[in-house]
Amino acid sequence: MEFEAYGRKVEVIHGDITKVEADAIVNAANEGLRGGGGVDGAIHRAGGGAIMAECRKIGRCPTGSAVITTAGRLPARYVIHAVGPIWRGGNSGEPELLRSAYETSLRLAKEHGLKSIAFPSISTGAYGFPLEKACPIAIKAVLDHLAGKTSLERVIFVLFTKDDYETYVNQARDLLSGRAS
Ligand code: ADP
């Protein structure tokens, strides 16, 4: 499903982010940038050792922030490793930290002059952030970024399950009412 916001494209797709051709794909990383399961494992497996080599040089990334590396063998040019919060019930700053992980990723993309970026649903897998709460935070952070001056022309949300995809489409429709195409 494709939407338009501030003259830019916002796409919601059901699929595997390691297959997406974009200037950058975002990884749902951990503070140690060590790789792991879920989307993180899939990105390192598909992209090869060059990504981990750069992660090791960088070292760590605090929750709510993000760092950028090569994308190795992936069809993207860069991987932005964003660290979302672990869900601890919702009163430990999780919404703000999640928004900050998206904002930092978008800022890095802009600083590198990138035109397209693809996001997975950060924190909603192993980190336990409820998807229905995370989804509007993700979409609003993107819309607020697109409302300002940015190099980005296309933002893609890549959802791995059909249920998550449908939640995102409905939420994007609500937040962009009248602008769906
Ligand atoms: P976190 O630790 O931040 O919760 P996870 O990787 O466990 O990260 O889950 C984040 C989201 O990524 C989940 O919704 C999961 O379904 C999704 N996911 C897993 N593999 C992929 C993939 N290859 N492409 C896109 N999304 C994926």
40 is catalytic: yes
Determine whether the shortest distance from the Cβ of 64 to ligand 1 is under 6 A. no
Neighbours of 149 (CB within 10 A): 6
The C-alpha atoms of residue 19 and residue 17 are separated, in whole angstroms, by 5
Tell me: the pLDDT tens digits for 84-108? 999 999 999 999 999 999 999 999 9
Ligand 1: which atom is nearest the Cα of residue 17? 24
Give, in degrees to the nearest 5, the angle at Cα 169 between 121 and 147: 80
CA distances from 171 to 77, 136, 174, 175, 176 (A): 29, 7, 5, 6, 8
Determine whether the shortest distance from the Cβ of 126 to ligand 1 is under 6 A. yes
CA atoms within 13 A on the CB side of 84: 30
Confidence at 177, pLDDT banded by 50, 70, 90 = confident
- Model pTM score: 0.97
Helix (H) or strand (E) holding 10: strand 8-14
Tell me: the pLDDT tens digits for 40-63? 999 999 999 999 999 999 999 999
CA distances from 47 to 30, 71, 90, 93, 155 (A): 17, 6, 33, 32, 21
Ligand 1: which atom is nearest the Cα of residue 40? 6
32 C-alpha to ligand 1 centroid (Å)? 17
Determine whether the shortest distance from the Cβ of 78 to ligand 1 is under 6 A. no
Token pair for 179: 């602008």
Determine whether the shortest distance from the Cβ of 158 to ligand 1 is under 6 A. yes
**CATH class as words, domain 2-176:** alpha beta
pLDDT > 90 fraction of the chain, expressed in percent and rounded: 97
147 C-alpha to ligand 1 centroid (Å)? 27
Q: What are the residue ranges spanned by the domains of the chain?
A: 2-176
Contacts with 91 (C-beta within 8 Å, 6 or more apart), sequence order? none
